[in-house]
Structure 1
């Protein structure tokens, strides 16, 4: 049987990059997937995630969502449950960055990054837990939350102050949810990607930044969205039966070096 057969998953930022890979992987393993994003088409170009899933015989819908808006998050989970009946896996992946240090960061930039990367994860986790508390457990679990953090939640992200601070907050948020809601049979874990090559614009694919990441990463290649999706699949499945509150590194050994 597929690892996520009969499971319902919401993936924020599911139109592009890591979120797209997670959604495709979940669908391939039997999950019905709700793609939540600001736009439906991927920044990498090509077909939308929902279209790819349906073409492969899977089930998916798209819900336009700004996770920094509580009403939008409330509507997202409401739409998922109205369509599929429950929520088994909440993947908090959507994130933004400014590439600015402390002095360069404007109050507006700070508020926007924290609004999406931290408050948005709070909103999505809160609304997901509200739904999970209202549904019966399956195989001893009412639901699972997977937060995409970053290696930069543990070590500084040179030149990007608000992003790194927000990712550090996500790591602690994961622990807090895991501890507070274990008795409710709700699982919460995080995945901390290292350098992952995506279609993300700007400094993320700057040649100097890529060279630094290659020299910093022990494994002889940089990561791909599929690498992160494999870890997410494990944490979303019943294989992760006693895994709670971890921040799983998917970084080619970056943090070990």
Structure 2
């Protein structure tokens, strides 16, 4: 039986990059996947995530969502439940960055990063937890939240002050939710990717940045989206039992060095 047979999952930021890889992997394992993003077109180009899922015989839908807006998040979960009956998995992946240090960061840039990367995660976690409590549990759990954090939630993100601070907040948010809501069957874990090579344009694929990451990573290659998708599959499945509040590193040994 597929690991996520008939599970209903929302993945934010699932049109591109890590979110896309997670959504496709979930669909391969039998989940119905709701793709939540501000744009349906993938940054990498090519077919939309939903088109790929449907072409492979899977089920899902796209819901245009700005996670920094409570009304959007509320509508996202409500629409998912109306269409598919419940919510089992919420993956909070959508995030932005500015590549600015403290002195370079404008108040507007700070506000926007925190609005998406912290407040947006708060909204998604809260709305998912509300839904989990309104439905019957399946086995030990009512639902699972998976927050995509970062290695830069634990060590500084050189040259990106708002992003690093926001990811530190996500790690602590994960712990808080896990501890406060374990008794009601809500599971909350995070995944901290190291350097993952995606189709994202700009500074993420700057040759100097990639060289730094290669030298910093013990494993002899950089990460790929499927590495994070595999961890997200494990945490979404019943294989991940008696685990909550964990910040699972998928970093090729970066944080061990």
| Distance (whole Å) between structure 2 residues aligned to residue 133 and residue 139 of structure 1 | 14
Aligned residue for 1:36, secondary structure, equals: strand
Aligned residue for 1:238, secondary structure, equals: coil
The aligned runs of 1:87-166 (5 Å cut-off) are 87-166=87-166
Give the match for residue 71 of structure 1: 71
Give the match for residue 240 of structure 1: 240
Deviation at residue 202 of structure 1 after TM alignment = 1.1
Please, what TM-score do these two structures have when normalized by structure 1?
1.00
| Distance (whole Å) between structure 2 residues aligned to residue 142 and residue 212 of structure 1 | 42
Write out the 4+ residue segments of structure 1 that deviate beyond 3 Å after TM superposition.
Answer: none
| Distance (whole Å) between structure 2 residues aligned to residue 195 and residue 143 of structure 1 | 29
Deviation at residue 146 of structure 1 after TM alignment = 0.0
Aligned residue for 1:34, secondary structure, equals: strand
Q: Does 1:16 align with 2:16?
A: yes
Deviation at residue 155 of structure 1 after TM alignment = 0.2
Aligned residue for 1:101, secondary structure, equals: coil
Deviation at residue 241 of structure 1 after TM alignment = 1.1
Unaligned runs of 5+ in 1: none
Q: Does 1:4 align with 2:4?
A: yes
Aligned residue for 1:2, secondary structure, equals: coil
Give the match for residue 80 of structure 1: 80
| Distance (whole Å) between structure 2 residues aligned to residue 25 and residue 211 of structure 1 | 29
Give the match for residue 213 of structure 1: 213
| Distance (whole Å) between structure 1 residues aligned to residue 139 and residue 226 of structure 2 | 27
Give the match for residue 228 of structure 1: 228
Cα deviation digits, residues 95-115 of structure 1 (max 9, x gap): 000000000000000000000
Deviation at residue 201 of structure 1 after TM alignment = 1.5
Aligned residue for 2:3, secondary structure, equals: coil
Deviation at residue 2 of structure 1 after TM alignment = 0.3
Deviation at residue 133 of structure 1 after TM alignment = 0.3
| Distance (whole Å) between structure 2 residues aligned to residue 55 and residue 89 of structure 1 | 22
Deviation at residue 157 of structure 1 after TM alignment = 0.4
Aligned residue for 2:184, secondary structure, equals: coil
| Distance (whole Å) between structure 2 residues aligned to residue 6 and residue 209 of structure 1 | 40
Deviation at residue 212 of structure 1 after TM alignment = 0.2
Q: Does 1:43 align with 2:37?
A: no
Cα deviation digits, residues 1-29 of structure 1 (max 9, x gap): 00000100000000000000000000000
Give the match for residue 204 of structure 1: 204
Deviation at residue 94 of structure 1 after TM alignment = 0.1
| Distance (whole Å) between structure 2 residues aligned to residue 27 and residue 231 of structure 1 | 15
Aligned residue for 1:252, secondary structure, equals: coil
Aligned residue for 1:181, secondary structure, equals: helix
